[in-house]
Every structure is written in C-alpha cells, then in structure tokens.
C-alpha cells in the first residue's frame, strides 16, 4: 500500500528548502549550485521526492540479512515496502529508521539505522527483546511493530506501555509524517490515557 504522497512531497519540499538555506548550499560555487538544482529538478520531474529517496533493493537485502542474523527475526514485508518508498527521515523531533549506513555501498548516514536502533533499545529495555521491532520515535513515543501479531503500535517512552495500535504500518508512518510536518488538519483523534484523560502534547491522526 502506498504512503500518503501529499506528506512525502511536503517533507521533500521542506528538506529542499532547508538545504537551500544551509551554509553548505551557500558555500557552493554558482556552477555547483546550478548542478545541484538541476539534479533536484530532474528528480521531481521524474516523479521522485528530492532528498527523500527510497532504499535500493540491494540495501534492503543487506538489511534483511543483518536483521535476521543480529536480531534473529525476519524483517516484516510491509516495513520493507515502506523503506522502498522512504528510506527514513528526521524532522521536528520525529524519526523513521532507515537502512544503516554500514549496510550501504556509499556508507551514507541518512539518520537512525533500523538495526542499530533495535540493538540499542533491546539492550536498554530487555522487556522489549523479541517483542517489538522499533521503527522510529518522537519526543514522547517509540513507534514499533509488535512481533507476535505484526500490529504497529506507539509506546510511551517513559513507561513502554502501549498508547495506540495502528491498523497498518502505512497508517503509522503517515501519522509520523503528519506529526513531523505539524499538519493535523481537522480530522484528529485525541489520545487518552488509561484513566480516560487527554494526553498532553500529542495527537494521533485518524487518517
């Protein structure tokens, strides 16, 4: 199932804007800036999302092998399909894990790596070992896949208790992108805690 292309485009546009305001971009020569602008425009014309690429098949195969070898689990097919569309992102305190830098031919570090994040979290939180595959986080939440059921969930960072269960991994990642963009629109569902009170500082979308 494809992700929300509106959110993908908005994130891509945001990353391009940030790049063009960066010291790196300003330090480029005029020719270098023009060449970079041309590459970004060519990606957009080809229907891609500049600075928000999907993972290559060879990288996904290496990741799947490493996850199996190091974590003794299979990488869920639905998550592989997500990474084909967007190989991780970090924005506004929200991060989606992508392919680890050491598993890329170019060693490019695009953000938190899926394998590394799970090795750290499983070591830090032994109660999550073989129970959750962590796929991202925000300031208040861990986003994960419940391994027994394949259900995507949000966990309180402080308690690791489940706060929300998503119907699909696409719904979870769409919600993460919506949070990263700060775009909740009119159709939102306020998260309630176990006592039925509104949880402060965060809302899960109902999309």
pLDDT tens, 134-163? Answer: 999 999 999 999 999 999 999 999 999 999
Please tell me the distance from the alpha carbon of residue 40 to that of residue 44, in angstroms, as a whole number: 6
Residue 204 in any domain: the answer is no
Residue 197 in any domain: the answer is no
Helix (H) or strand (E) holding 191: strand 188-192
Please tell me the distance from the alpha carbon of residue 48 to that of residue 8, in angstroms, as a whole number: 10
Total domains in the chain come to 2
Within 46-155, where are the H helices? 57-71, 77-85, 114-124
Residue 192 in any domain: the answer is no
Of the three residues 32, 52, 72, the one that is the final residue of a domain is: 52
Helix axes 5-20, 169-181, angle to 10 degrees: 40
Q: Which domain holds residue 45?
A: 1-52
What residues form DSSP beta bridges with 94? Answer: 91
Residues 36 and 78 placed together within one structural domain of the fold: no
Helix (H, G, I), strand (E, B) or coil at 161: coil
pLDDT tens digits, one per residue of 52-65:
999 999 999 999 99
Please tell me the distance from the alpha carbon of residue 154 to that of residue 1, in angstroms, as a whole number: 20
Please tell me the distance from the alpha carbon of residue 93 to that of residue 163, in angstroms, as a whole number: 18
What pLDDT is recorded for position 31?
96
Residues 112 and 127 placed together within one structural domain of the fold: yes
Residue 149 burial (CB count, 10 A): 9
What pLDDT is recorded for position 190?
44
What pLDDT is recorded for position 108?
65
Residues 124 and 38 placed together within one structural domain of the fold: no
Is the pLDDT confidence value at 198 over 50? no
Please provide residue 104's backbone torsions phi and psi, each rounded to the nearest 5 degrees: -105, 145
Residue 36 in any domain: the answer is yes
């Amino acid at each position: 199932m494809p992700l929300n292309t509106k959110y993908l485009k908005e994130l891509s546009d945001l990353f391009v804007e940030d790049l063009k305001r960066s010291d790196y971009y300003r330090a480029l020569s005029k020719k270098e800036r023009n060449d970079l602008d041309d590459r970004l425009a060519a990606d957009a014309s080809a229907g891609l999302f500049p600075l928000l690429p999907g993972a290559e098949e060879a990288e996904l195969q290496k990741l799947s092998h490493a996850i199996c070898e190091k974590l003794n689990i299979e990488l869920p097919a639905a998550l592989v399909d997500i990474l084909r569309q967007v190989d991780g992102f970090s924005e506004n305190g929200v991060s989606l894990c992508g392919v680890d830098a050491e598993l890329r031919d170019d060693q490019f570090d695009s953000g938190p790596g899926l394998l590394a994040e799970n090795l750290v979290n499983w070591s830090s939180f032994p109660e999550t070992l073989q129970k959750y595959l962590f796929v991202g986080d925000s300031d208040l939440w861990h986003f994960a896949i419940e391994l027994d059921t394949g259900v995507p969930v949000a966990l309180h960072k402080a308690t690791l208790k489940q706060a929300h269960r998503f119907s699909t991994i696409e719904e979870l990642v769409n919600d993460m992108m919506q949070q990263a963009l700060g775009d909740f629109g009119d159709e939102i569902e306020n998260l309630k805690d176990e006592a039925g009170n509104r949880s402060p500082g965060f809302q899960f979308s109902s999309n």
